[in-house]
Amino acid sequence: MITGQLKNQIDRLWEEFWTGGISNPLTVIEQITFLMYARMLDMNEQKDEKLSARTGKAFNQRFSAEQQHLRWQNFRHLGAEPLYKLVKDQLFPFFAETASHTVKEGTDRSVFSEFMKDAQLMIQRPTLLVSAIEMIDALPLENSDTKGDLYEYMLSKLATAGINGQFRTPRHIIRAMVEMVDPSANSRICDPSTGTGGFLVGSYEYLMEKYSSRHGVEREPLFDDVGKPLLDANGNQLENVLYAGDLITSEQRAHIDTDMFHGFDFDASMLRVAAMNLVMHGIKQPDIHYQDTLSQSFKERFPREAKNGFDIILANPPFKGSLNEEDVCPEILRKVKTKKTELLFVSLIENMLKIGGQSATIVPDGVLFGSSNAHQQLRQLLVEKTQLEAVISLPSGVFKPYAGVSTAILIFTKGGSTDHVWFYDVQADGFSLDDKRSPIKDNDLPDLVAKFKARDKAIAETAQNDRSQKAFWVSKADIVGNKYDLSINRYKQVVYAEQQYDDPKVILSKLVALENDILADLKALEDML
């Protein structure tokens, strides 16, 4: 978490872009990402130079002798016109050039090599570029504990929906989903519609916390600019908690850096942002690719990932959109014949999971109760061919101001069988359900996570299974009998409180008495005239 001066720096940088004629939030973040990338290339080059000087070992240089002028430290102090010309005519072509060459595995350039080739400088004013470089130069990018939070703060400024119904998933919802699937340091994790990389970052942060000893945790109380303690909605002081991840072995660390996190998206801008987000949080080589995971080419390009490839899949796939069936992988269509992306993605995720692999996926409510053949086909697949573990209903305002659509989280494990499904009705998530999304005290998410981890199927057929509560079990037979309907309102029992009313004669006498009082007051006013 960042506060005070750093937030002000980002706010000023944002304002510079806004007044400089760039108002699209995604474009602003993308341009900042390019410049951050340029600075981090030079930072890593300097680090390797120092290491090489100490050890005498050579390293894979990012800049040739003829490209030294493209290093951040060598151009950041140039005047407006020469700086703009260098960045536009040489630095961005350098990005494209390095992207077109095969990069030795393990270098920082390879993370971005697939989607830096079409990087474009959208800044039109040289003075804006100077201001942006000066501000980015002042950011603490060398501080690994801060730069991830810094980038997340920038991403929080994405205030509009993305392409085809994509929008930024609230980080507290991501956290709850990650906690429920509980990844380990050996997991292979994927998001097939990566967006800004929130699920992958959330998983990494959870792992760092999970694998930190008592001595590997550092807490910093937070204060505002005048030294006043910052408090949450419950009046508790906010803290910046740093996790060292000191219980992670060297082998696990290598896996985390190179083969744990996998993301795919068909929006190059989102991929650039996602890659930078992961790198800023400390993941050296996240596996991020430009790829439509629903297309036939996915299996051809990534056979290991397309089928039985992952232990955990976390996703909030696009809700809107319809695809040409000819472009969709036939294996997915054989399971669910439809053009609707929200159905196809769930089928895809089931295909991508290993046997025993688990997914937590956000879906619009229509997936739960839709009456089309495709809707029923998908729900039948989840109930009959996987172990459908939980259906978690979310309040309709969770994704405001992006969208007001009602959603749910489906948690299922590939393989096994479904005999009972656990339902939970989230009524509050710690924020108001209007467009402002202000912090409030009511929050069911901690209870959701605790009850999910402690759920006991043994009570499913007993009197303890109270369907009037937030959490309850529903049998497979009941679900099948309702055409595989998974909407919580189908099964939840609503208890109506009995209302007591006065006898009509009593009500009438009260009205007469009130009328007399009014007449008396009017008579008193009349006498005063």
Convert the pLDDT of each residue in 400-447 to its tens digit. Answer: 877 778 999 999 999 988 999 999 999 999 999 888 888 899 999 999
Structure tokens at 240: 């910046």
183 CB-near residues (< 8 Å, 6+ apart): 189, 203, 206, 207, 311, 312
- pLDDT for 401: 72
Inter-axis angle of helices 144-155 and 4-19, nearest 10? 40
| pLDDT confidence band for 234 (50 / 70 / 90) | confident
CA–CA dist 375, 369 (Å, integer): 7
Least confident interval from 108-112, 377-381, 409-413 = 108-112
Structure tokens at 246: 């000191």
Q: How much is the average pLDDT of 360-373?
A: 96
- CA distances to 120, 327, 336, 359, 417 from 331, rounded to whole Å, are 37, 12, 9, 19, 21
Domain boundaries of the chain, sorted by first residue:
1-157
Q: How much is the average pLDDT of 304-324?
A: 87
CA–CA dist 154, 7 (Å, integer): 9
Structure tokens at 233: 């909605």
- pLDDT for 113: 62
Parallel, antiparallel, or unpaired: how do β-strands 261-265 and 189-191 relate? parallel
- pLDDT for 105: 42
- pLDDT for 101: 53
Q: How much is the average pLDDT of 339-360?
A: 96
- pLDDT for 41: 87
The CATH code of the domain at 1-157 is 1.20.1260.30
Return the biggest CA–CA distance within the chain. Answer: 108
β-partners of residue 388 are 412
CA–CA dist 448, 318 (Å, integer): 25
Q: How much is the average pLDDT of 121-139?
A: 93
β-partners of residue 3 are none
Question: What rounded mean pLDDT belongs to the chain?
Answer: 88
Q: How much is the average pLDDT of 166-177?
A: 85
**Between residues 411 and 271, which one has the greater pLDDT?**
411
Q: How much is the average pLDDT of 290-312?
A: 94
Q: How much is the average pLDDT of 50-66?
A: 87
CB of 203 within 8 A of CB of 359? no
| pLDDT confidence band for 3 (50 / 70 / 90) | low
What does 419-484 look like in DSSP terms, one character per residue? SEEEEEE---EEE-SSTT--EEEEE-HHHHHHHHHH--GGGTTSTT--TTSSEEEEEHHHHHHTTT
CA–CA dist 529, 522 (Å, integer): 11
CA–CA dist 435, 398 (Å, integer): 10
Cis peptide bond prior to 446, omega within 30° of 0: no
| pLDDT confidence band for 106 (50 / 70 / 90) | very low
**Between residues 486 and 101, which one has the greater pLDDT?**
486
∠ CA 215-217-222, rounded to 5°: 140
| Residue 103 pLDDT > 50 | no
Dump pLDDT digits (tens) for 12-37. Answer: 888 899 888 888 888 898 899 889 98
Provide the 3-class DSSP secondary structure of residue 6: helix
Question: Would you give the distance in Å from CA 521 to the centre of its chain?
Answer: 63
Q: Half-sphere exposure of 512 toward its Cβ, with a 13 Å CA cutoff?
A: 6
CB of 334 within 8 A of CB of 351? no
Name the residue with tokens 């196809």. Answer: 344
* Short-list 333, 459, 348, CA closest to 414: 348
| pLDDT confidence band for 2 (50 / 70 / 90) | low
Dump pLDDT digits (tens) for 470-529. Answer: 999 999 999 999 999 999 999 999 876 677 788 888 889 889 999 988 988 888 888 887
Residues comprising the chain, all counted: 529
- pLDDT for 112: 64
Dump pLDDT digits (tens) for 73-90. Answer: 999 999 999 999 999 999
Parallel, antiparallel, or unpaired: how do β-strands 429-431 and 407-414 relate? unpaired
In the sheet with 471-475, reading across from the earlier edge strand, the strands are: 287-290, 261-265, 189-191, 310-315, 353-364, 407-414, 386-393, 420-425, 471-475
Q: How much is the average pLDDT of 99-107?
A: 47
